[in-house]
Amino acid sequence: MKGAKLRLIILGPPGSGKGTQASILARKYGLLYLATGDIFREEIKRKTDLGKQVEAYMARGELVPDELVMEVIRKKLESGSDGSKIGFILDGFPRTERQAEELDKLLNEINLKLSAVLLIDVPDEEVVKRLSGRRICEKCGAVYHVEYNPPKIEGICDICGGKLVQREDDKPEVVRRRLQVYHEQTDPVISFYEKSNLLYRVDGLGEVEEVHRKIEALLKIICDD
């Protein structure tokens, strides 16, 4: 399988493991990895204008307005290290029907086609468990879970030795809102890609490696088509 040919979207509820699986795929196939949530968190950390505009939405578990999201994606996909030369994986985008339509237009303009949209299916109860135990390295962004994927030393990143912290929006009341927003605004994106025959469902339950193997099996079918 050649990474250069893979142009993927990874969809799923908050905490379904999109970031975990997308990072593995990006490393393995040399894909450009664009995670809108990570991009916004970095802007907030750097206190940029964009960071200031998106901060309050994220803290409440609401979606950032479509216009701001599209501006970021357009710049990234059109820039020098763009997806036209290498494959890419989009994580956390598109999240509304309008974003999906805008992405279609943008890909048409730059002559690119999506390979597939992977939907990681995980029930809401599991999402709550995963997010309440998630810890992030404040230095390099590596993701852990206190129970399912613990670091070797509690509170310390295995990779860079940075401190592990909880994300602001992983607090229980914000997680509930994020789930509600997902069902209201992102469920229609699933139907959107179902209609264009690009959607592949992956059972997101099971260990990280197991879910990865399920994705690999699907990618093999997709690429052989």
**Cβ 140 to ligand AP5 shortest distance, Å:** 14
Comparing CA positions, the residue from 224, 202, 225, 183 lying closest to residue 21 is 202
- Note whether 208 binds ligand AP5 by CB under 6 A: yes
Comparing CA positions, the residue from 124, 92, 119, 91 lying closest to residue 192 is 119
Comparing CA positions, the residue from 13, 70, 18, 16 lying closest to residue 185 is 13
- Note whether 189 binds ligand AP5 by CB under 6 A: no
Among 51, 53, 148, 156, binds ligand AP5 (CB under 6 A): 148
Task: Name, in order, each residue with C-beta under 8 angstroms of 98's C-beta and a sequence gap of 6 or more.
Answer: 66
Say how far apart CA 90 and CA 69 lie, in whole Å.
12
Among 34, 58, 100, 137, binds ligand AP5 (CB under 6 A): 58
The count of chain residues that interact with ligand AP5, using the rule CB under 6 A, is: 36
Say how far apart CA 3 and CA 13 lie, in whole Å.
25
Residue 167 is a catalytic residue: yes
Residues annotated as part of the active site: 18, 95, 134, 167, 178
Residues that bind ligand AP5 (CB under 6 A): 12, 14-20, 36-37, 40, 57-58, 61-64, 69, 92-93, 95, 99, 130, 133-134, 143-145, 148-149, 169, 178, 206-208, 211
